[in-house]
Structure 1
């Protein structure tokens, strides 16, 4: 006698249940394929819309990757007076087009395994659901980065290196640019890295230009260099860490 299954009040044989499972699998595959096709079509249209000169535009090798990333190449005329740009890379991330991505973006975004690519490029990781240290570093740097941007919005400058990240907790005494410092500071307590060390802060200021900052942890060893838990982790890698965290569901 064949096995019988009861689903939502419907009685099915083993054979019928197997057929239903195959249909469900096919429907899932079709849904995923449709989503990927839609992303590719939307990215291609976004690229096309970005050019004033449409004649001679060619787009190829357009591929969808996990996390809302589409990568490809294009050839196009940027001017009627210059030769066309040939086989130039482009990346679309969450609907935002980058027609001139740098090499690091191409390596770490245009891949089916961003965690492996990050480890190969930097020695950081591999990042997985059980990487508690990397999860904490990603969250800490995300918090500090957003807090530094809020500080900048108020004061039109980042904290001086001499004041360091402590300037986010209490107003620095010797920074005359912190005129609009918020009462009570910007954060109650500074996070430390997973090994109990403070995050290193570097800030480059260029006159009246915004400048930039970098956050760093030297890993478990506390010394520059290394791989895995010993690896240095800079905030320059934060966008890639955040993307991997979102894909893993640990952001």
Structure 2
């Protein structure tokens, strides 16, 4: 093995190492940007739940109201450095922020590694998952899908335009059956979930939304069965599973 390494052209070896380092550096930069967006998405979700504005006012501790310093706002690092507590009053920092940052820091490089190197499509997928992650948090906390989200989703069509017929077909193909099912059955899908699927179908097209629906149902069934038979509770927040289904679609089918 050592003899083989000595026979390799030094210039070729240097080129391979440099390309590998460049690729690693680029993925680290993507991960950094992902963690920043994840931090913002987490703050958006928390403030919407608390009925606060997420686009005005500086970041602060909810308990002592002290404005956070710049070094307390570094994604991932600040949470670990502060040991999950406010520097001023030692109030526990919600772990959801760290989870958001970690998820997006990990997910963003994987999107690139799937072979999706078109900036417009990558941006579209990134923004859509960010929006769905915020909605998932809101759904878990207060079981609500804000109506304003449908307007935000419509704006994303500009990054993924496939022809008006494709978009209309995608929206109607998933919305109409789910609406009828929720209207006929008392224990059907919630109205917010049905409208969200309709909007996603309009944005992504019928092929994508059917796959996402399949992924979401498959992932949610074990949790729903566990909650019903072991916890005695009917129904689980479904937007988190729509988010998971969308992530799986973009990772395995979204190129």
The question of a shared fold, defined as TM-score above 0.5 by the shorter chain, is answered with no
Q: Which has the higher helix share?
A: 2
Name the structure, 1 or 2, with higher relative contact order (CA <8 Å, separation 6+). 2
Q: Which has the higher strand share?
A: 1
Computing the radius of gyration over CA atoms, which structure comes out larger, 1 or 2?
Answer: 1
